């Protein structure tokens, strides 16, 4: 009954090793309900907005986490 989330502080990777990063994120997506990347949200930890977004996407209240 638990929903899980990965919340990354990351950047868009256009380097030569980007396929490794993409492969890692794909593996994470297959194992967690939600994977949120700060670079795609336009927010980063510790911005409270990123946590609020994660809670909303998971459909939970702070006291449930």
Residue 15 in this model has a pLDDT that exceeds 90: no
CB atoms within 10 A of CB 1: 2
**Which CATH code is given to the segment(s) 5-58?**
3.40.50.1000
Contact yes or no for 35/5 (Cβ under 8 A): yes
Residue-wise pLDDT for 17-61, tens only, equals 788 888 888 999 999 999 999 988 999 888 999 999 999 999 999
Extents of the domains making up the chain: 5-58
What's this model's pTM, rounded to 2 decimal places? 0.78
Look up residue 49 and give its two tokens. Answer: 């907005």
First to last CA, the chain: 12
Looking at residue 48, its pLDDT comes to 93
- Which value, in Å, is the radius of gyration of the alpha carbons in the chain? 13
């Amino acid at each position: 009954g638990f929903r899980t989330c990965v919340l990354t502080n990351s950047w868009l990777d256009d380097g030569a090793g980007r396929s490794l990063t993409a492969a890692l994120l794909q593996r994470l997506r297959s194992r967690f309900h939600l994977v949120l990347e700060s670079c795609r949200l336009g927010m980063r930890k510790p911005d409270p907005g990123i946590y609020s977004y994660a809670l909303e996407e998971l459909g939970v209240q702070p006291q449930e986490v």
